[in-house]
């Protein structure tokens, strides 16, 4: 298989690429990583794989139709996995337009280029071609405490500009399958965590702020509930869906672990208390600070992944206890990676550009 991965220098994309290139028995002949290297795209995530002869990096945007078409033809691509997206809710509230440009217009242009490539393939390759679009549970909106978890049939009800842009991209993927018969698949995942997570997101932010003696900001009452999915389990699910999923179908991917945000923060504090204690002997929990809630903050997400489990036999390997311990250990061992990102972020802010 020759595989094109878009957004492969980001958090989930880089973990997917690493898994595919290091797992024994990989069927890949070539893996092309197309990434625009915006603020969350970090080539350092994959620096140790740069010497793999199967790996090719291309710097560019999914909105660049000419570049995408050239990569598809030059590398004889058999499948596309689309991770490329603006993905931070707070940023979408501050400035929605980049989310529309990347997540909606970018996905549209990517689909157009892929459709033209696919339609010109020989019949045997055409039949085996796949386009997998990676999306989020946020397209479904929010749940009340006693509501059943989101299924693949839950109506879309996005509540942030980010979620709305992802819902639009999901609809485009579905439309291209229905109208043009492009062999598409979609996955909608719950909140991911694990290695290489950009430090503005909840779990890495709490780890790094704690170690730096900074406040641990918790929105509102901290009782917003999320279903936490270890990123390597998500990557394995994507690969399974790509290989065995039914064309035109959506598969929800969840961690089977609903927890309030405040409990996540307290768990991180307890782990750090054991693994890297404060110099004064006090608990990191003393740094927890409640701040004004995010506008339109969804109260609860929960994923029902029975379809993925029943049809394809997937299940998460990591419990939250094992996954969060691995995550804390990784950040403790990779402080240089974190400080490099922070330095670049502050450099952009000093120059007046988007961080």
Any idea which residue has 């217009």 for tokens? Answer: 105
What does the pLDDT look like over 134-152, one tens digit per residue?
Answer: 999 999 999 999 999 999 9
Concatenating the DSSP letter of every residue in 103-143 gives IIIIHHHHHHHHHHHHHTS-HHHHHH-EEEEEEEGGGG---
Judge whether 332 and 276 are in contact, CB under 8 Å: yes
- Decide: 111 and 60 in contact? Cβ < 8 Å: no
pLDDT classification of 350: cutoffs 50, 70, 90: very low
Residues whose CB falls within 8 Å of the CB of residue 128, separated by 6 or more in sequence, listed in order = 78
Q: Could you tell me the pLDDT band of residue 303, with boundaries at 50, 70 and 90?
A: very high
How many H-runs (helices) and E-runs (strands) does the chain carry?
13, 12
Dump pLDDT digits (tens) for 234-286: 999 999 999 999 999 999 999 999 999 999 999 999 999 999 999 999 999 99
Are 191 and 227 a contacting pair, CB within 8 Å? Answer: yes
Strand, coil or helix: 184? strand
62-66, 170-174, 345-349: least confidently modelled range: 345-349
User: For 246, which DSSP code?
Assistant: P
> Degrees (nearest 5) of the Cα angle 261, 264, 266?
110
Q: Which residues are catalytic?
A: 137-138, 162
- State pTM to two decimals: 0.94
Q: Which CATH class is domain 2-192+229-256+296-318?
A: alpha beta
The per-residue pLDDT for range 88-98, each reduced to its tens digit, is 777 888 899 99
Q: Domain-by-domain residue ranges, the chain? A: 2-192+229-256+296-318
Distance separating alpha carbons of residues 11 and 95, to the nearest angstrom? 21
């Amino acid at each position: 298989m020759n595989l094109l991965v878009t957004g492969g220098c980001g958090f989930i994309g880089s973990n997917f690429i690493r898994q595919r290139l290091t797992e024994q028995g990989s069927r890949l002949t070539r893996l092309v990583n197309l990434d625009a290297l915006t603020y969350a795209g970090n080539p350092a995530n994959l620096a140790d794989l740069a010497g793999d002869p199967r790996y090719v990096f291309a710097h560019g945007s999914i909105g660049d139709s000419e570049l995408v078409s050239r990569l598809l033809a030059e590398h004889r691509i058999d499948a596309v996995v689309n991770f490329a997206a603006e993905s931070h809710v707070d940023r979408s509230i501050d400035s929605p337009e980049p989310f529309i440009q990347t997540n909606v217009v970018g996905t549209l242009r990517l689909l157009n280029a892929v459709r033209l490539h696919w339609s010109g393939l020989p019949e045997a390759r055409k039949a085996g071609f796949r386009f997998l679009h990676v999306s989020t549970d946020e397209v479904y909106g929010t749940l009340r405490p006693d509501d059943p978890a989101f299924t693949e049939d839950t109506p879309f009800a996005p509540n942030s500009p980010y979620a709305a842009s992802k819902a639009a991209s999901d609809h485009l993927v579905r439309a291209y399958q229905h109208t043009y018969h492009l062999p598409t698949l979609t996955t909608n995942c719950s909140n991911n965590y694990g290695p290489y997570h950009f430090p503005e997101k909840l779990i890495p932010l709490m780890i790094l702020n704690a170690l730096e003696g900074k406040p641990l900001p918790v929105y509102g009452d901290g009782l917003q509930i999320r279903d936490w999915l270890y990123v390597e389990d998500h990557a394995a699910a994507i690969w399974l869906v790509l290989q065995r999923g039914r064309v035109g179908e959506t598969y929800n991917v969840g961690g089977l672990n609903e927890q309030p945000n405040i409990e996540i923060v307290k768990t991180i504090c307890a782990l750090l208390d054991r693994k890297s204690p404060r110099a004064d002997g006090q608990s990191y929990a003393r740094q927890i600070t409640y701040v004004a809630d995010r506008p339109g903050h969804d109260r609860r997400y929960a994923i029902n992944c029975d379809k993925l489990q029943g049809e394809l036999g997937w299940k998460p390997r990591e419990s939250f206890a094992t996954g969060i311990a691995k995550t804390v250990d990784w950040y403790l061992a990779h402080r240089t990676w974190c400080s490099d990102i922070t330095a670049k972020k502050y450099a952009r802010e000093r120059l007046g550009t988007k961080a």
